[in-house]
Amino acid sequence: MEITINHVKELKKITSLVHDSWFDIDQVLKDHKDGVVKIYFYKTSKLAADEINRFASINIKNIQRLEIKDTEKIGYYDFNEIKYLEKERCLVITTGVPIGIRIYVDPLEVILENNQ
């Protein structure tokens, strides 16, 4: 299943699908190219390095700037929510373990892929 999200209210679909799953911050940094970030989600952090255990991903397009402040340096983070700050044109990803992820986009376009 693939869903393209262009409106702020649709971001709730991402949160409901991948809440409490895990992602690898190093992979986010590595896949940031050509104005696109791809984030792969896993059910558990212990298996996150195993490609077989990916169950969903999001492609964030039209990236103007990516800011990541990784003070904890733990590698795998549990996803809580994705929000969009309209005035700043910025997606903010929140996690259980503190990390600052701000993705500036114009226009908003996120593609949600669910492998289940």
Strand partners of residue 83: 92
User: In which residue are the tokens 């669910």 written?
Assistant: 114
Query: Whole-number mean pLDDT of the chain?
Result: 89
Report the 10 Å Cβ neighbour count for 41: 24
- Distance, in Å, from the CA atom of 36 to the CA atom of 16, rounded to the nearest integer, reads 22
Residue 44 has pLDDT above 70, yes or no: yes
Strand partners of residue 5: 110
Tens of pLDDT, residues 57-81: 999 999 999 999 999 999 999 999 9
Domain with 11, as residue range(s), is 2-114
Q: How many separate domains does the chain show?
A: 1
For range 73-94, the mean pLDDT = 95
Residue 37 has pLDDT above 70, yes or no: yes
For range 14-42, the mean pLDDT = 87
pLDDT at 39: 93
Angstrom CA distances, 38 to 4, 62, 87, stand at 14, 12, 24
How far separated are the first and last CA of the chain, in Å rounded?
Answer: 8
Residue 112 has pLDDT above 80, yes or no: yes
